[in-house]
Amino acid sequence: MTHRFVLDNGLRVVHRHDTRTAMAVVDVLYDVGSRDEDPAHTGMAHLFEHLMFGGSANEPDFDGAIERAGGINNAWTSTDFTNFLDVVPAQNVEAALRAESDRMLALAFSDHTLQVQRSVVVEEFRETVLNRPYGRVMHELRSMLYDPRHPYSWPVIGKEPAHITRTTQDDVRRWFYAHYAPDNAVLAVVGNVGPDRLRALVEKWFGDIPRRGTPPRTLPAQVWRNGGERRRVTTDRVPAPLVAMAFPMAAYGQPGYTEADVLTDILAAGRSARMRQRLMAQHPELLTDAEASIIGSEHEGMLLMDCRVTSGHPDAPDRCRALLLAEAQAMAQPGDITRHELERAVNRYEARRAADELSIVNTARRLAEAEMRGEDPDADLTRRRAVTLESLADTARRIFVESEPATLTVLPDTR
């Protein structure tokens, strides 16, 4: 059974008592991500994920506090949210709640921590973007697809390392007090902790943190880039050519969002997927890999398709692009997608979801995100089961036929 309550300071709490485990998960989800950044100062949300482990008002060593309680912790940042989670023995759940409440109250704002974490994030930028094959693909695709004023036009890690290196302590304080607040967060606790005990502990540790009145989020009205370059060819230190396409798609929960996810499952999920059976199997001399996926977002997102090119012929990338596009556009034709394909995609999703339910970590995350969005935790499953062949064909038409993708071709640098 799931319990919900809201503290006077606005903190939303969702709790599920699970007596089958001796552990507990404390998951704190903040309504802040790279969508809240200034185009001239990006990467702040990701930097803050690191800074939140650098000591708080009364706890100089967050990792140590969780480890002493016999637990582990992790975190992630997206375009929309920032999440922190702790897994501890249920009897030590108070230690995790105390540590999370302290860094929600205030950070230590140490100059040394800021210097160290700036260096860590810049090094991560070098490793994952500048020095990794195909590392700049998402930078390129986002900049071609989204309006440059929209925060989805850059990845979560930021536009460039210089934005991080010039971050000051004043920048950090402004960001923290604008976004890291009880009235801008959801606390989810799942595990062997009873509801009465949990509520008492939450009120004890979080109840006195002041509400901060997070400023309203305003995003540019223009989402997609009008005009400009929609096809780009670059060179990089890569082993083989890559062709990647990004199509506009609906925001999370909006009509067409779930259909877009199902379309990519039909295209690329599993051995029987279309890309494997119709492209890779039939054209081994041209491509070695083909993928399709979505980047689901709270606002308009991206549907991605890409292929690795085997042939060294100059027109091979264009041939791969044409094959990908033809396969996707065919799905817009009535009757092209079969009932069997739809049922298989839905069954795969339900199987993955059932497996996720075995993990209290995944359950806590799902509850936190549903509470943040103000929806039932099973809303995604309900939407998936409501998908029809007609709605799939209609979504395929709008995405693959009526919209122009951003297309990036990355060629090996032969210099």
Region 133-154: mean pLDDT is 96
pLDDT reading at 191 higher than 90: yes
pLDDT band for 11, please (50, 70, 90 cuts): very high
According to the model, what pLDDT value does residue 215 have? Answer: 86
Region 64-78: mean pLDDT is 97
Q: Which two tokens stand for residue 386?
A: 């409501």
pLDDT reading at 378 higher than 80: yes
Q: What is the dihedral of CA 139, 142, 148, 152, to 10 degrees?
A: -100
* CA distance linking residue 340 with residue 356, whole number of Å: 24
pLDDT reading at 21 higher than 90: yes
Question: Per residue in 252-291, pLDDT tens?
Answer: 999 999 999 999 999 999 888 999 999 999 999 999 899 9
Domains defined for the chain, CATH in brackets: 2-206 (3.30.830.10), 231-412 (3.30.830.10)
Instruction: Give me the chain's average pLDDT, please.
Output: 95
Question: What are the E-state strand segments in 79-217?
Answer: 82-89, 185-191
According to the model, what pLDDT value does residue 311 have? Answer: 83
Q: CB-based contacts of 395: which residues, under 8 Å, 6+ apart?
A: 256, 259, 260, 263
According to the model, what pLDDT value does residue 390 have? Answer: 97
Q: How far apart are the first and last CA of the chain?
A: 62
pLDDT band for 227, please (50, 70, 90 cuts): confident
According to the model, what pLDDT value does residue 316 have? Answer: 93
pTM of the model: 0.95
According to the model, what pLDDT value does residue 229 have? Answer: 83
pLDDT band for 129, please (50, 70, 90 cuts): very high
